Amino acid sequence: MKDKAGATPRTRLLHLGNRGKKSVTVNISRPEGQKLVRELAKISDVLIENYKFGDLARYGLAYGDLKTINPRLVYCSVTGFGQTGPYRERPRFTIS
């Protein structure tokens, strides 16, 4: 069901939940992208990522790397199978 503005309850919830937040898209495979992530990590409170286990470590952007830049950084890694266990390197993404 949509309201008069054409929004669904899910759309409204998404806008409400993300109000005031800022997001960026960065090509982390490029050195300038990696540099940008490090610069942002210096001034950020929270970093949320959803790469497969080990992907960010290849670029020097894992939690251990970024905590040296900003020890107070809250680093949230969202994975389909967690950081440990037999399936940790499998890709998984769910929109629900």
The model's pLDDT over 34-91, given as tens digits with 9 standing for 90+, comes to 999 999 999 999 998 888 888 899 999 999 999 999 999 999 888 777 777 888 777 7
Burial (CB count <10 Å: 0-12, 13-18, 19+), residue 80: middle
Q: Residue with structure tokens 């669904």?
A: 8
Q: Which two tokens stand for residue 17?
A: 């939940």
For residue 95, what pLDDT band results from cuts at 50, 70 and 90? low
Q: Which two tokens stand for residue 49?
A: 């990522």
Q: Residue 83: its pLDDT value, please? A: 75
Query: Is the predicted pLDDT of residue 28 greater than 90, yes or no?
Result: yes
For residue 30, what pLDDT band results from cuts at 50, 70 and 90? very high
Q: What is the pTM of this model?
A: 0.69
